[in-house]
Amino acid sequence: MNSSVLNSILFIVVFVAYINSISAQLPVFEDWQTRLSMRKIGHELLLSWADSTSRVAAIEGNNETYLIQFEPALDVEPKGFVSVINRNAFQEPFAKEFLVEVLACNTSKLEYSYYLILDAENQDSLVPCMNRPLPKGCYDFRITIIAPLEPPTSDAVEQGRITEPTVEEETGSSPFWLLIFVSFIIIFGWLYHRKRNPDNTKGIQLGTYLFNPKHRTLVFEKQTLELTEKEYELLQLLYNNLNETVKREVLLNQIWGDEGAYVGRTLDVFVSKLRKKLDQDESIRILNSRGVGYKLVLSE
């Protein structure tokens, strides 16, 4: 096994280990779940304002900050929207602590904000001016997650609310080793394919000639000989069956196929052209099995 293959295997192992470590550090609550929670909050806020027809715009943001936007001008009172947001946060938690900011749509000026800790004893401690309504206008609600949710506690597991994870689920070892196994299967499959179908893009050594199928050339020392399409196909087919006789009908059918009328003499002409281009090296011969076919022979 050459160094390039070993490097490929090492790269795959390191890459899989990196992906496994990243996946183990993913937050308990996924971003798409948080976005659903934000859209649900937006929907219930509209209902609390007796609006069942307006649309909640697409939730903008990332894993920390989310923006809930509304189309109509709103009559908002902190006591009402604080109640809706807090109720949703306690029923379907998306963070342990978060900051809510109410922004004017056009200027992004901060009009109101409060901080919530998911603790029943402290939920009102950082909620100011709840009974002072804001002027009617267009507002966006920006929710910033200060402390993400923590992994489930042992109490929750014991009470049956959460299924206790297996060792594989905790460490990610099962997916990791599965990926390692699949990677090795791919590598060895690739090696087998390369062995059966060698990469000829850099050229095939034919004695002192270099046969380049990609560019359809024969290189002898510093001289480059171009091959016609048929010459290339003929040489490639003979090389693929090195030291074996290829029948005339096989050569004619695979190279000329249905391109119209041709006669056996056509094949002989192209063989003669190839012989002339390969005559600088006596170890390369195209032998004629009279009435049967042709064979490419490389002498030691």
Within 10 angstroms of residue 68's Cβ, the number of other Cβ atoms is 22
Over residues 115-136, the pLDDT tens digits come to 888 765 555 456 778 788 888 8
Domain that holds residue 15: 3-24+169-194
Residue 289 resides in a domain: yes
CA 172 – CA 52 distance, rounded (Å): 45
Residue 75 resides in a domain: yes
Assess whether 121 and 177 both reside in one domain.
no
Please report, for the domain that includes residue 211, its CATH number: 1.10.10.10
Distance set, CA 216 to CA 191, 250, 265 (Å): 26, 21, 23
Burial tier of 100 (Cβ tally within 10 Å: 0-12, 13-18, 19+) = buried
Assess whether 189 and 238 both reside in one domain.
no
Residue 158 resides in a domain: no
How many domains are contained in the chain? 3
Q: Find out whether 97 and 147 touch, Cβ atoms under 8 Å.
A: yes
Per-position pLDDT tens, the chain of length 300: 455 555 566 666 666 666 555 554 444 456 788 888 999 999 999 999 888 888 888 898 887 899 999 877 888 888 899 999 989 988 888 888 899 999 998 888 999 988 888 765 555 456 778 788 888 889 999 999 988 877 655 554 455 554 444 544 444 445 556 767 777 788 777 676 665 555 555 688 888 999 998 889 999 988 999 999 999 999 999 999 999 999 999 998 888 886 555 666 788 889 999 999 999 999 999 999 888 999 999 887
Assess whether 19 and 36 both reside in one domain.
no
Over residues 39-92, the pLDDT tens digits come to 999 999 999 988 888 888 889 888 789 999 987 788 888 889 999 998 998 888
Assess whether 52 and 137 both reside in one domain.
yes
pLDDT of residue 146: 87
Assess whether 190 and 222 both reside in one domain.
no
Residue 134 resides in a domain: yes
Q: Find out whether 43 and 36 touch, Cβ atoms under 8 Å.
A: no
Residue 228 resides in a domain: yes
pLDDT of residue 6: 58
Residue 39 resides in a domain: yes
Residue 50 resides in a domain: yes
Q: Find out whether 146 and 66 touch, Cβ atoms under 8 Å.
A: no
Kindly state the tokens that stand for 222: 């510093």
Assess whether 214 and 106 both reside in one domain.
no
From 3, 46, 9, select the one nearest 182 (Cα to Cα).
Answer: 9
Kindly state the tokens that stand for 280: 């600088």
Assess whether 276 and 185 both reside in one domain.
no
Assess whether 99 and 145 both reside in one domain.
yes
Q: Find out whether 250 and 293 touch, Cβ atoms under 8 Å.
A: yes
Assess whether 119 and 189 both reside in one domain.
no
Residue 155 resides in a domain: no
Assess whether 217 and 142 both reside in one domain.
no
Assess whether 49 and 146 both reside in one domain.
yes
From 194, 219, 223, select the one nearest 204 (Cα to Cα).
Answer: 219
Assess whether 11 and 78 both reside in one domain.
no
